[in-house]
Structure 1
Amino acid sequence: MAKRALVVTVRIEGVREILRALTQLPKDAQTEIRDRSAKIAAKLAPKASADVAAHGGRQGPNLATTVKVVRDRVPAIQVGGSRRLGRHRAPAYGILFGSIFGMSRRSGWYASPRYGMSPGRQYRPHRGTNAYAFFPVADREATTISREWNAAADEIVRKFGQGGA
């Protein structure tokens, strides 16, 4: 079964051109950009975890334990997965969207009309596509991440482009 998680990647200016240039370089360059991206994402992961714990509703602290760094060519972190959380052992992907985006009513066998409009029995009212947690941290840190990743990519292209290493 595939893992169900939400992965956030930050929009970086010129990323396609840089990644295209990196494909022309040796495999060591790919490995190094993955390592550098993981280090950049590792700076963001604790902030995202704290944000999910603080703003993710009652399930936020449980969900915050699933935030981890994804090793990719661009900085990425993920939350969710198939790990069972809480006293009812619900999978993380099952509570993920309700905690991060909110929900308007419960779904499943316990969704009776009497619970539908009860604000005490839901995470919070769904207000559209804006996230309460996780995404705002990535948006706040986007310029820093973009600057650091571009600097790392430039250094790697210079290092390996001239026959180094």
Structure 2
Amino acid sequence: MVDRISVRVDGVWPVLRDLQKLPADADRETRDVGYRLAVLLAGQVAANARVDSRQSALMASTVRPVAGREPSIVAGGGARVGRRGTPAFKILFGSEFGARTYKQFRPHLSGGSYWMWEAIMAARPEIDAEAGRGVDRLVRAFDRGM
């Protein structure tokens, strides 16, 4: 049973591979940049969830950043949400993708997204730009000898 969705931003691996050429101290800085980007992404996804629908709004409190070199977020899990205390994972997929058989959810989108993936794709240019700036700062700092 899947109880959460993890999201990773594409295109990060080549950058991380190149950053491995920097001194070992760069790892902490790389993780700081990755976490800052994850916080930015989690905030945008949670904001999109709050304005989408009641079910999506319940998921906003479960969206959180994950520490690491690459910007990652998680949502859902076993957290109890709503007035009935339903586990978030029981609402997550229906609120994000809809459903065909369960009438409490909106119609299934067949590959579309109601709130999470839409927010991620909308945030991608900003995340890419900020990641580039973070990597540039990191490389300059270690090029100067920090």
Pairwise TM-score range, normalised by the shorter structure: 0.7 to 0.9
In the alignment, what sits opposite 1:131? 113
* Equivalent pair of 1:29/1:156 in contact (CA under 8 Å): yes
How far residue 85 of structure 1 moved from its aligned partner, in angstroms, is 1.5
* Equivalent pair of 1:48/1:67 in contact (CA under 8 Å): yes
Q: In percent, how many aligned pairs have the same letter?
A: 36
How far residue 131 of structure 1 moved from its aligned partner, in angstroms, is 0.7
In the alignment, what sits opposite 1:9? 8
With the length of structure 2 as denominator, give the TM-score of the two structures: 0.85
* Equivalent pair of 1:85/1:91 in contact (CA under 8 Å): yes
How far residue 70 of structure 1 moved from its aligned partner, in angstroms, is 1.3
- Alignment partners' CA distance in 2, 1:50 and 1:72: 22
Aligned pair partner of 1:103 in 89, 99, 105: 99
| One-letter identity of the residue aligned with 1:10 | V
How far residue 126 of structure 1 moved from its aligned partner, in angstroms, is 0.5
Aligned pair partner of 2:41 in 41, 44, 47: 44
Aligned pair partner of 1:34 in 27, 31, 36: 31
- Alignment partners' CA distance in 2, 1:38 and 1:145: 12
- Alignment partners' CA distance in 2, 1:126 and 1:27: 47
Greater C-alpha radius of gyration: 1
In the alignment, what sits opposite 1:115? none
Post-superposition Cα deviations, 1:36-80, rounded to whole Å, max 9, x if no partner, equal 12222322322211211222x432222111111111212222211
* Equivalent pair of 2:80/2:87 in contact (CA under 8 Å): yes
RMSD, aligned α-carbons: 2.2
How far residue 97 of structure 1 moved from its aligned partner, in angstroms, is 0.4
Alignment of 1:1-165 (within 5 A): 4-12=3-11, 15-55=12-52, 57-106=53-102, 121-160=103-142, 162=143, 164-165=145-146
Which runs of no fewer than 5 residues in structure 1 stay unpaired?
107-120
- Alignment partners' CA distance in 1, 2:95 and 2:33: 30
> Secondary structure at the residue paired with 2:112?
coil
> Secondary structure at the residue paired with 1:50?
helix
| One-letter identity of the residue aligned with 1:100 | E
With the length of structure 1 as denominator, give the TM-score of the two structures: 0.77
Which runs of no fewer than 5 residues in structure 2 stay unpaired?
none
How far residue 3 of structure 1 moved from its aligned partner, in angstroms, is 8.3
* Equivalent pair of 1:52/1:100 in contact (CA under 8 Å): no
| 4+ long deviations beyond 6 Å | none
